[in-house]
């Protein structure tokens, strides 16, 4: 049986890092989850990394993504989508 690719993103702005870790651990119980990603600023990401070192289930699975890079990727995707739409490469209603 094939499962869809599922990635879980937890955005941390403030609050409990333990809660973030618990949410990510829970998500790994779903066999469709291919990976887990913590999104935050560099200072928070460093704190999350330090907490996750002690959690063997997350140690090699958790990825870290700076929120500013996420915003840049989003802007790039918007630009690509707008360019494709302007060229009329995708049929209406698709």
pTM: 0.81
Q: How far apart are CA 1 and CA 20, in angstroms?
A: 30
User: Quick one: tokens of 49?
Assistant: 């990394």
pLDDT reported for residue 75: 96
Q: Which of 32, 30, 24, 27 is CA-nearest to residue 59?
A: 24
Average pLDDT per 10 consecutive residues for the chain, totaling 94 residues: 80 91 94 93 95 88 96 95 87 71
pLDDT reported for residue 94: 62
- Which residue in this structure is represented by tokens 């989003």? 74
């Amino acid at each position: 049986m094939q499962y869809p690719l599922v990635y879980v993103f937890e955005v941390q702005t403030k609050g409990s890092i333990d809660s973030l870790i618990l949410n990510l651990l829970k998500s790994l119980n779903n066999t469709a989850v291919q990976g887990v990603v913590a999104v935050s600023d560099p200072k928070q990401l460093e704190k999350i990394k330090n907490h996750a070192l002690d959690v063997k289930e997350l140690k090699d699975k958790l990825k870290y993504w700076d929120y500013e890079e996420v915003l840049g990727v989003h802007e790039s995707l918007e630009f690509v989508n707008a360019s494709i739409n302007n060229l009329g490469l995708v049929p209406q209603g698709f």
